[in-house]
Amino acid sequence: MVISCGKDEEQTPVAGGPKMNSFSPLSGSVGTEIWITGQNFGATKADNIVKIGSTTAPITSASTTEIFVTVPEGATTGKVSVTVDGKTITGGTFTVLEETEKAGITLNKSTFDLFSLDSETITVTLTGNVSAEDIVWSSDDESVVIVDENGMITGVSEGSTLVTAFINEEVSTNCIVNVSHSVFAVGYEEINGIPVAKVWKNGVATNLTDGSSFGAATSIYVDGTDIYACGIVDKGLPAAVVWKNGDILYELTDGSKYANAQSINIYNGDVYVIGNEELGVDNISNATIWKNGDSFATLTDGLNVNERSSGEDIFVNETGIYAVGYEESELHINGTPKLWENSTQINLTDEAFHGRAYSVYAVGSDVYAAGYEENENGIWVAKYWENGEVTSLSDGLQNAEAQSIFVLGNDVYAAGSYYDGQGELQQAVVWKNGTPTNQAAMGSGASSVYVDGGDVYVGGLISEGELSKATVWKNGEAMNLELTEGAGSSVVFSIFIK
């Protein structure tokens, strides 16, 4: 826009000298270009002298009718004048504005490294007329990283993605966020003689119970950024509970009857738990499934209603709800292994010998279960069943059982223990497609297996004298777990990698 000088600011032209019609703009900071129009200007830049107040402005182009100059460093508000051949015309006032810093944003790092479910707030440095409230944060892949309105990033799962801080099309920046998986474990640790339910994340322990009474966490599942665990607390009698992010989410039972929670699984936001609940007569209990805190199913075939059954593990996917455990009978007081598909009971054996199923895993409608069955010599044989077809994992010469099963691609992993007799732990073992690998020295046991990529994680314990020590192995090497100095025995029952 061209704005003319006010008439009251014009100076009468000198005869034969330059005449100024207008200049534009009337204000600006250092570096602003000013366009001056008039007559009798010098035809070249060298023929003209232009000043703002007493400061000479550099000329960028000139003709007899217009001149372009740039506001120089050091210029202050003053009248614009043009001198040609010693004759000067002075126009209106040009206001020199304080230079505004260009808007910009920078981050304190170009790359962030996190573990899943860990958080860090990005520090920003802003320049120009912008504020933190102007920033719109976004993650290219929210399955890997989420970011809130304050720039706090949280790892969700293993991977890498970009996080962007956006103000406008000209002012934005981003950073790379690399997320490594976290190793979660649950169990208990005896402190002052009382078992305390615990969860470990990357080896760092958090108590789920306060140590005033018995507590133990038996299973863990991580869904998104939420950590779920189930287990047992003392309410006069053992009671089944679910924790979410360290706080009790559901009290599944009230402690008036014996109960426990053995395994937890999350599917489509629904929380499934399996365990046992006493029927109230003769200490008989039944395998029970809870869904979102409410009783969902009692697992029994109706043939042995006066005998005890136990639910040990649950797995839920798009094809159904799969559970395993065992059911006792007059013939087999220690039980025989059972699989339940959507509450329909399936016998895993012909029930000629006793046994138990401890773990279940499903890939689509293919169902895998792990446990043991006694042979004709009274030896426990570690086994897994794939769609009902049995595979023996141990040779039947010494007692063994498979406590956990995990399937990745075409590979079937099972974790368990060899025993000296039927109660004395001898050695923790992982079988991959039937081939055993010992995890530790004598006096160890394995209760849970999880495979992530090429890494095999196993949870369990190592015996140290009369005490047991909670342990997680990665590819056969024990990882560091935070344990209380001077505490008693501790155990890991379940692990999860996220």
Nearest alpha-carbon partner for 158 in 141, 176, 178: 178
pLDDT top residue among 328 and 333: 328
Is residue 45 helix, strand or coil?
helix
pLDDT of 420 higher than 90: no
Q: Structure tokens of 230?
A: 């189930």
Quick: pLDDT tens for 148-178: 999 999 999 999 999 999 998 888 999 999 9
> How many other CB atoms are found less than 10 A from the CB of residue 488?
16
* pLDDT above 60: residue 408: yes
User: What pLDDT score was predicted for residue 5?
Assistant: 45
Q: Round to the nearest angstrom and report the end-to-end CA distance of the chain.
A: 61
Average pLDDT over residues 12-32: 89
**Bigger pLDDT: 432 or 299?**
432
Q: What is the mean pLDDT of the chain?
A: 92
For the residues of 307-342, what is the DSSP string, one character each? S-EEEEEEEEETTEEEEEEEE--SS-TT-EEEEEET
> Which residues make beta-bridge pairs with 100?
none
* 343-357 mean pLDDT: 92
- What is the pLDDT, as a whole number, of residue 442? 82
What pLDDT sits at residue 100? 72
Residue 334 has pLDDT above 90, yes or no: no
Beta bridge partners of 375: none
pLDDT digits (tens, 9 = 90+) for 273-299: 999 998 765 667 889 999 999 999 988
Helix/strand/coil for 132: helix
Burial 243-256 (b: 16+ CB within 10 A, else e): beeeeebbebbeee
Which domains can be identified in the chain, with CATH numbers?
7-96 (2.60.40.10), 104-180 (2.60.40.1080), 183-497 (2.130.10.150)
- Regarding predicted confidence, which is higher, 411 or 4? 411
Is residue 147 over pLDDT 80?
A: yes
CA torsion 33→38→44→50, rounded to 10°?
-50
What is the tens place of the pLDDT at every residue in 38-68?
999 999 999 999 999 999 999 999 999 999 9
Confidence band for 98, pLDDT divided at 50, 70 and 90? confident
Q: Which pLDDT value is given to residue 128?
A: 86
CB distance 17 to 85 below 8 Å: yes
Tell me the mean pLDDT in the region 402-406.
Answer: 98
**278 phi, psi to nearest 5 deg:** -70, 140
Range in 6-15, 16-25, 416-425, 462-471 with the lowest mean pLDDT: 6-15
CA distance 34 to 211: 78
Q: Please tell me the predicted confidence (pLDDT) of residue 99.
A: 75
CA distances 128 to 27, 75, 105, 295, Å, are 19, 22, 9, 60
How would residue 3 be classed by pLDDT, with cut points 50, 70 and 90?
very low
Cβ atoms of 309 and 328 within 8 Å: the answer is yes
What's the mean pLDDT in 83-111?
91
